[in-house]
Amino acid sequence: MKGVSNNEGKEQRFRDRAEAGQLLATKLTGYANHPDVLVLALPRGGAPVAFEVARALHAPLDVMIVRKLGVPGEEELAMGAIASGGVCVLNDDVVQMLGIPEELIHKVAAHEQQELERRERLYRGDRPAYDVHGRTVILVDDGMATGATMRAAVAAVRQQQPARIVIAVPVAAAATCEEFAAVVDELVCILRPEDFFAVGIWYESFSQTTDEEVRDLLQQARHEQLATTQRRRKTPGTAGHEKRAKVASPTQHKNHHIRRRLTSSTSSTEVPT
């Protein structure tokens, strides 16, 4: 689908991230009420979208924290990204074009790693991350431009051997959608504009999501998931059909031995951090 059109044939914008998540959830109904499904938000902007998706699918919600590696002096230009689990994915085109030395990449990655770990502590507290091994994982963000952060998220999830990886976003550049459709099990996207420009222009309200909002959404989702589980257990005929959410110990997410490999058509490489 190339986009959502109104009666005048013009492409519409989402009111806000919550509405985008609700509309996105209608494209994912086949995953509703499946005990092996896990929704992972890419915070911060992906959290409000993923919350609505997880709520509609009656699935647990967690975060996959990714930090963009900005080019020094031009931080908005991504030379790569890091993700939970020690994954670092580089945009080889940018690195080679600008001649960025490896020691500078490691310096920027080390700084962003500190912020990544701070957010993990803030969002989860003492709660361990969900174990994704053998599960269907739905990665959700508020949009994709170049896909640098999502690329790192996919690499981080894949090393934990899920059964299936699904990317779900309200809007993404058409070329980025084509790239990811070839490397994950399923890509779900509502708007795929050829003239993309930036994620924010496809929202009427695109205010910055705060750390506190992410934390509150995770807590609310957890409470709602527990309530749903309890209701199902009280329903006749559902006993024995609940699958307890698996969690991984924090040490399982500290593996920093990362393989070098060429990933996608945009020449991204995983390197050790």
pLDDT at 113: 95
Binned at pLDDT 50, 70 and 90, residue 75 comes out as confident
Mean pLDDT of 201-221: 96
C-alpha of 59 from chain center: 15
78 within 8 A of 146, measured Cβ to Cβ: yes
The crossing angle, in degrees rounded to 10, of helices 17-25 and 46-57 is: 40
Q: Which helix (H) or strand (E) holds 71?
A: strand 66-71
**pLDDT value for 77:** 84
Q: Give the pTM.
A: 0.78
The whole-number pLDDT of residue 257 equals 36
Total domains, the chain? 1
Answer whether residue 2 is part of any domain: no
d(CA 10, CA 162): 39
- Report if residue 3 sits inside a domain: no
Q: Is residue 1 domain-resident? A: no
pLDDT of residue 86: 84
Report yes or no on 196 lying in a domain: yes
Q: What is the pLDDT of residues 140-170, one digit of tens each?
A: 999 998 888 899 999 999 989 999 999 999 9
CATH for 203? 3.40.50.2020
What's the domain range around 219?
17-233+259-270
Q: Is residue 50 part of a domain?
A: yes
In the numeric block, which tokens belong to residue 244?
A: 């307890």
| 253: CB partners within 8 A, 6+ apart | 84, 85, 129
- Residue 97 is assigned to a structural domain of this protein: yes
